[in-house]
Structure 1
């Protein structure tokens, strides 16, 4: 943190959002889904710090609970993408030859589709839900993790320390998981942090289009969809989820750059 301002800023933003998410698990000023039509589209006040939405629901309570959705989608989809990418990348990079060619061509096929279109395709096949959104985004991340891990394994598998350990009779599992993967951990962690912000953006886009989190559950993207009609009359309804999406994506992007700089052994 002393060496990297980016890491400090990223941790501050992400840490603040994480605290907001943890608080929302136990406390919100109001019930997030409680409708009070008589108080619809009220401006920010002492009673409702961020105003109310078109159904009279407290905007602050809903954006607080929306952090749970964002972090859940980010963490779960990155875990799926990392697990799939780890399997594909290690086999392709370590085995080489036909396995490498076959697996890399399959990942190239996935990369040929624009990310949001592929996510739309995967989600639209089944009934839109949070679980389907997580699965679709996770599958979308497999190629990026696979290529990063494959590249690292290819660079490390013929390194002198790997040859030395192999000469002492170490098995393939030891070479991969004890020797090689720890030495490419910085690339994997950086990719995970960057993918986290991408997952939040994709989830917001899918929810905005009605293919992600379904009402009445709070989602920042869904809130943007509901607020667009009232942009001139109730701008606070749009600003709250929009600013949180921006802060979250910025925080994880800064965190990704900071982690890369901090773990880069050449610096």
Structure 2
């Protein structure tokens, strides 16, 4: 059962499909949200199809290094002669994959732990929240760096690290919302009917978290992409020959005064993805009525 379903005013049966579509309509009604969704869709498509669309292989050394833009190489070549456009097109693939995989894991695990902590309470709540507080006391970049040195920086390891880092925040947000929902009458009614723990959590409380979780997921994907790019810039993340926008910015620092586009282009591309996600998040938050106090970065 959802919170809306327990509202005191009963809508006509014919209005139910309209009510269910209201969040989607609110999302589509905002121009900024639509811009964000288009940007996100563009980057996801680029990540999926870059190997097919790129004019050259991302690792092929084709000419001398740092050649200017030409008909053969629209954005020139990098320091060792690889086509810059091809590498720029593929620069977000690994970061997106790691962010999506890691944040998906954190949302699943964080939701499970948050539901238990918020509904069961007692010693279980104390144990989960003390562990959460301990992890959140460490600055995120420092924690990520420690975990990278521990687990390595392969794609699977980076996804695991992202999951570990973002799970505590999801736990706190879900726990707070669960405590609020658990006090409502329809949850009490389920308890009085003798429904078990699993039924109450999955059928009564969890459906009311979907809007919040959608916003949380998008926010943390945006944050994770920035963190992964920052790690690559610092030499702790994605490494050669895999293209990554953060790594491309780091490599461009040595030629920023002679070939500034090598720095500007990956920075703009990364920024467009983050801006797109943030615009989409804003629309989702408005559509589902999620306030800033409910989300926790």
Q: Does 1:79 align with 2:128?
A: no
Q: Which residue of 2 aligns with 1:139?
A: 164
What is the CA distance between 1:60 and its match in structure 2?
1.3
Contact 2:211 2:290 in 1 (8 A): no
Q: In structure 2, what is the Cα distance between the partners aligned to 1:36 and 1:64?
A: 17
CA displacement at 1:45 relative to structure 2: 2.8
Structure-1 residue corresponding to 2:282: 257
Specify whether residues 23 and 12 from structure 1 end up closer, same or farther in structure 2 by C-alpha distance, changes over 3 A only.
same
Deviation for aligned residue 1:223: 1.0
Give ranges in structure 1 of 5+ residues lacking alignment: none
> How far did residue 34 of structure 1 move?
0.6
Q: Which runs of 5+ in 2 are unaligned?
A: 1-26, 292-297
Q: How does 1:1-267 map to 2 (within 5 A)?
A: 1-38=27-64, 40-264=65-289
Instruction: Check whether the contact 1:52–1:237 (CA below 8 A) recurs between aligned residues.
Output: no
Deviations 1:242-267 (A, max 9, x none): 1111111111111111101012289x
| Paired residues of 1:92 and 1:99 also in contact (CA < 8 A) | yes
Cα distance, 1:25 vs structure 2: 4.0
In the alignment, the residues of structure 1 paired with residue 191 and residue 120 of structure 2 have an alpha-carbon distance, to the nearest angstrom, of 15
Give the conservation status (yes or no) of the 8 Å contact 1:122–1:136: yes
Q: Deviations over 1:200-220 (max 9, x none)?
A: 111111111221112111111
Q: For the Cα contact (< 8 Å) 1:34–1:57, is it kept in 2?
A: yes
Q: Cα deviations across residues 20-51 of structure 1 (Å, max 9, x unaligned)?
A: 2222143311011111342x212233322222
> CA separation in 1, counterparts of 2:287 and 2:174?
19
Higher mean C-alpha displacement, 76-85 vs 21-30: 21-30
**Whole-angstrom CA distance in 2 between matches of 1:6 and 1:140:** 30
User: How high is the TM-score relative to the length of structure 2?
Assistant: 0.84
Give the superposition deviation at 1:110.
0.8
What is the CA distance between 1:233 and its match in structure 2?
1.3
Q: What is the number of equivalent residue pairs in this alignment?
A: 265
Q: What do residues 166-202 of structure 1 show as CA deviations (whole Å, max 9, x unaligned)?
A: 3333221111111111112111111110000111111
Take 2:218 and 2:286, find their aligned partners in 1: how far apart are those partners?
Answer: 13
